[in-house]
Amino acid sequence: MKKLIIVTVLFISLSGCSKHESNEAPMSLVKVTHPTPSLINSDHRADDSSLLNDIEKDVEGYEELYDAAIVKNDNQILVAYKVKHLQRFHMKKIEKKLTDSLEKKYQDEEFIVSSDYKIFLEVVELHEKMKNPDYNSDEAEKKFKKIVEMQKELT
């Protein structure tokens, strides 16, 4: 028992010294963050921004989930969200419902939908980085692609 406690404490203290540079990202698993959607490459920034805001409203309108992080690159839209704890049993169903309705409503766009914490974490981190003017869109795109790849990877 003692050793179990020691191990738990070890992990808690380890996660204290985080390597993440941004402030908001590490807390995004515990807190509801409501990040503003980001755009990486876009020809019509104004239109796209309002489109993303609409999508965020739609996604957060679902009562099974809370908190959505959205990022758009070209015509790929990555939607990461957190499912309410007791709804986690229906995770697959929610994902399908969400994807179907988004694809139906915004037919020109390609959606990548994920309820994975890791994807959420990475998207929030991407948001944070893009606030920095030194962070150029090439790097952002690279990170975006990495996230998409991670989402597709399975056990």
Partner 1 sequence: MGGQNKKTPDQEKYQQLEQKHETKRPVLKNCIRAFWVGGLFCLVGQAITYFYIYFFNFTEQTASNPTVATMIFIAMLLTGFGVYDRLGQFAGAGSAVPVTGFGNAVISAAIEHRTEGFVLGVGSNMFKLAGSVLLFGVFSAFIIALLKTILINMGVI
Q: Is 29 in the site for partner 1 (CB under 8 A)?
A: yes
Which range of residues in 61-69, 70-78, 96-104, 111-119 is near partner 1 by CB under 8 A? 111-119
Listed ranges 18-26, 39-47, 70-78, 93-101: which one lies at the site for partner 1 (CB under 8 A): 18-26
Radius of gyration of the chain (CA): 17
Q: Report how many residues bind partner 1 under the rule CB under 8 A.
A: 24
End-to-end CA distance of the chain: 31
In the complex, the smallest distance separating the C-beta of residue 125 from partner 1, rounded to whole angstroms, is 11
User: Three-class SS of residue 41?
Assistant: coil
CB of 154 to partner 1, least distance (A): 6
**For partner 1, which residue of 13, 19, 43, 61 counts as binding (CB under 8 A)?**
19
Q: Is 21 in the site for partner 1 (CB under 8 A)?
A: no
Which strands form 65-73's sheet, in the order they lie side by side?
A: 38-39, 65-73, 76-83, 110-114
CA distances from 81 to 8, 21, 71, 126, 136 (A): 28, 22, 12, 15, 25
Q: Which of 70, 117, 137, 148 binds partner 1 (CB under 8 A)?
A: 117
Tell me which residues in 119-148 interact with partner 1 (CB under 8 A): 119, 121
Spatial distance between the Cα atoms of 56 and 59, rounded to a whole number of angstroms: 5
Give 66-123 as a DSSP string: EEEEEEEETTEEEEEEEE-GGGGGGHHHHHHHHHHHHHHHSTTSEEEEE--HHHHHHH
- Say whether residue 154 binds partner 1 (CB under 8 A): yes
Residues in contact with partner 1 by the rule CB under 8 A:
1, 3-4, 7-8, 11-12, 14-15, 18-20, 26, 29, 116-119, 121, 150-151, 153-155
